[in-house]
Structure 1
Amino acid sequence: MSTTQDWSRFGGGLIVFLALGATLALFIPRFLGAAAGPELEIITALKETESSSLWLPVRGAPQPLKSQKHRFARITVNVAPGGQRAEAHATLDFEGTLGDTRVGTAGVERVPFVVRGGKWVPETTAAPRLQAVVTALESRRRALQAADAEGLERLAGPDTPGPGGPEWARLRQVRARAYQVEAWYVRLERDDAVVTEHWRLRGALPAKPVDTRGERRLLLSFSGDEFLFSPSLM
């Protein structure tokens, strides 16, 4: 017959066993990641983002770009000499929102990684090229709403003319102007981005109210650390 002392020993042993199991569960993945090298750790870090929303801050926007679902695939990793920096190349499928604007993308993403606190982490965000494209698109949307020619010119590539033409002239005439974007669909290429924009312009002209919708195709090229519009802004 088991005594109270026997049960106490059994309970103490069980607690030690559970504590040991928890410790191993915490540290074994780290040991395996270190043994496999940075490539596996970086790939794992990207894939782990898929289990929750990806939040990407967009300069000038009151809300971040937030994924509803996203997926990284075909991931390859290039580790720089010295072993403290790396770059992951992947395809990214993304569906999300920036405020009321739907954002969808497919294409090539490049994610710089650095070592911080002994772990490989994205240098900035897990989708820096998508973040840069949407930042340029949102800056353009705000400039169009304000009919801000100088703001638009700052987004133009070297060979892109500034705003002009009948569409720009009509936009400037609209009072109480609201230039909204219902959706951006982005195709990320190696050095460029192709965007389909679904827009809506509301306001008033002297003779009548304005409420029009349209679709346009925009091209952006990577320059330095940002995307600029080329060959046109409109």
Structure 2
Amino acid sequence: MRSSEDWSRLGGVLIIVLASSAAMVVLVPRLLGVAAGPEAEIITFLKGTEREGLSMTLPGVEAPLESRKHHFARITVNVEPGGERAVAWATLDFDGQLGRTEISSLGVERVPFVLRGREWVPEDLAAPRLAAVVRALELRRRALEAGNREALAGLLAPGLESTTGGGEAELARVLELQRRRYRAERWLLRLERDEAVASEEWRLEGQLPSRPVDEKGQRRFSLIRNREEFLFSSSLM
């Protein structure tokens, strides 16, 4: 029969074994990532978001852009000279929401990474191009609801700033409504390297002097990349 001293010694050994195992769970993936190089570590990071989910804060937008499910594929990594910055190109299949707006997107994503300490992490967001397109669409929705023509003009690509990109009659009809509410029910997105196509399912509510208004419909937009933003290259309406 074991003495109490033997059991105490055995318990101490067991604690050491468990602590060592926990440390290995944390350290081994990191060590393997370092040994395999930045490409493997960056790919592992992006694929890991599929399990953990994505939640991205967009500048000037209260609600986060959140995924229900998403999938990165065809990932390639270009490490810049110096070995402290890299860019990952991938296709991204995304389903999620921004507030009450449902979002489905498919297309090309470009994710800059930086080396912080010993870990490769996104320089900003894990899906910056998707975030930029969604932000442009949400800022347009808010500007329409607020009747802010200046904000609408600021969302147009260079050369179109002095107009609303066409659709003046439709815009005037929307802005004449009192107690106006403009809601995007769903955005369907297709992202290429330097441009995006968006389809919007919308609902417009408000009040005219003669009657209430409650309408639904669909619109299609084209956007182009302007540095880190996406701007509308066709009509806002």
1:3 deviation in Å?
Answer: 4.1
User: Within 5 Å, which residues of 2 pair with 1:107-186?
Assistant: 107-160=107-160, 162-163=163-164, 164-186=167-189
Structure 1 residues 38-73: Cα deviation after superposition (integer angstroms, max 9, x where no partner): 011101111111112311112333211111111111
2:21: which partner in 1? 21
1:4 deviation in Å?
Answer: 4.1
Instruction: Give the fraction of aligned pairs with identical amino acids, expressed as a percent.
Output: 56
Of stretches 68-77 and 121-130 in structure 1, the one that deviates more from structure 2 is 68-77
Checking the alignment, whether the CA contact within 8 Å between 1:132 and 1:227 is kept in structure 2 is: yes
User: Within 5 Å, which residues of 2 pair with 1:19-98?
Assistant: 19-98=19-98
1:31 deviation in Å?
Answer: 1.5
Q: TM-score, normalised by structure 2?
A: 0.93
Q: Which amino acid aligns with 1:223?
A: N
Determine the C-alpha separation between the residues in 2 that align with 1:13 and 1:74. 46
Structure 1 residues 9-32: Cα deviation after superposition (integer angstroms, max 9, x where no partner): 433333333333223222222211
Of stretches 166-175 and 99-108 in structure 1, the one that deviates more from structure 2 is 166-175
Checking the alignment, whether the CA contact within 8 Å between 1:162 and 1:233 is kept in structure 2 is: no
Counterpart check, 1:214 vs 2:198 = no
Root-mean-square deviation (Å): 1.6
Q: Which amino acid aligns with 1:29?
A: P
1:172 deviation in Å?
Answer: 2.0
1:5 deviation in Å?
Answer: 4.0
Mind listing any 5+ residue stretches in structure 2 that lack a counterpart? none
Counterpart check, 1:196 vs 2:203 = no
Q: Which amino acid aligns with 2:163?
A: G
Determine the C-alpha separation between the residues in 2 that align with 1:135 and 1:229. 12
Aligned to 1:10, the other structure's residue is in SS state: helix
Over 3 Å counting, the alpha-carbon distance change for 1:118 and 1:228 in structure 2 is same
Aligned residue pair count: 234
Aligned to 1:171, the other structure's residue is in SS state: helix
Structure 1 residues 142-176: Cα deviation after superposition (integer angstroms, max 9, x where no partner): 11112221111111112436225321121121111
Determine the C-alpha separation between the residues in 2 that align with 1:8 and 1:100. 58
Determine the C-alpha separation between the residues in 1 that align with 2:59 and 2:27. 38
1:233 deviation in Å?
Answer: 1.6
Structure 1 residues 168-199: Cα deviation after superposition (integer angstroms, max 9, x where no partner): 12112111111111011111111111000001
Counterpart check, 1:187 vs 2:190 = yes
Checking the alignment, whether the CA contact within 8 Å between 1:70 and 1:93 is kept in structure 2 is: yes
Aligned to 1:78, the other structure's residue is in SS state: strand
Mind listing any 5+ residue stretches in structure 1 that lack a counterpart? none
Aligned to 1:59, the other structure's residue is in SS state: coil
Determine the C-alpha separation between the residues in 1 that align with 2:158 and 2:120. 36
1:225: which partner in 2? 228
